[in-house]
Amino acid sequence: MSVTESKTELYNMDNMDTAEPAIEKAGSHRGAEVFERYIQPCVAELLGSALFIFVGCSSVIENVEGTGRLQPALAHGLALAIVIALFGEISGGHFNPAVSVSVFLVGGLKVILLVPYILAQMLGGMIGAGLAKAISSPEKYSNATGAAFDVVKSDAEVGAATVAEMVMTLFLTMTVCMGAVNKRTSSGMAPFCIGLTVAADILVGGAVSGACMNPARALGPAVVSGYWSYHWIYWVGPLLGALLTASFVRLLLGDKRIRVLLK
């Protein structure tokens, strides 16, 4: 039956007995489509962000045995790789406002989902940080400042920390955009590569800025612990990195579908 024929039959008033079930079926299909396109991805972003940030915050709070940055680096990287592998086919596996901004700017995310994604990630960050606090002893939680980013202690350190966050987020968002969005370079290894990028950034930049790269990861523990010193760095730096990534991909590195020059 052609599309025209099905529409004609659907609205044929002479055959309401067969038309009504068809209408109900079409309405059910539209409802499922809306759910899968708009609601399910936001739920995936919220749950994935909560799980990732719970593991990340807990690794920082429990890192009291002198392991340095190795434990948080492995915990963040492995957790992120896992949640991307689990939820990537539903939402794209962002779990980070900076990633969502860069993916949106290179054409990999609809504008209608950008703000809901960021809100879901922020809420997930608060839930994850709250769960980390719930399982931690008060002493460990206090010693770790609730896993909030407290590396920057003075104005003299702000410049280096902001640049570090920008460059590390550039590396992360470039890995996402080139490994998962750009068709010419996309790879099934993207979740693993993204997790490794986060781990590498933490090992390299943890002493400079804390290696956040993720405003939702910064916001969650800041809200739960009440520690807000120099919090703006973890929004400005990552978002600048995301903008730089989008510029490189759109102007120079993207395939013909993404690139705006010399198509």
pLDDT tens column, 156-195: 999 999 999 999 999 999 999 999 999 999 999 999 999 9
Euclidean distance between the first and the last CA atom of the chain, given in angstroms as a whole number = 40
User: Does the domain at residues 27-253 carry the CATH identifier 1.20.1080.10?
Assistant: yes
Tokens of 36: 């899968």
CA–CA distance, 248 with 250 (Å, rounded to integer): 6
- Helix and strand tally (H, E) in the chain? 11, 0
DSSP 8-state symbol, 183: T
Residue 66: per-residue pLDDT? 60
Residue 31: per-residue pLDDT? 84
Going from N- to C-terminal start, the domains of the chain cover: 27-253
Cα–Cα nearest to 79, from 106, 54, 52, 58: 52
Which stretches in the chain have pLDDT values below 70?
Answer: 1-28, 64-67
Residue 217: per-residue pLDDT? 98
Q: Which helix (H) or strand (E) holds 79?
A: helix 70-91
CA–CA distance, 21 with 24 (Å, rounded to integer): 5
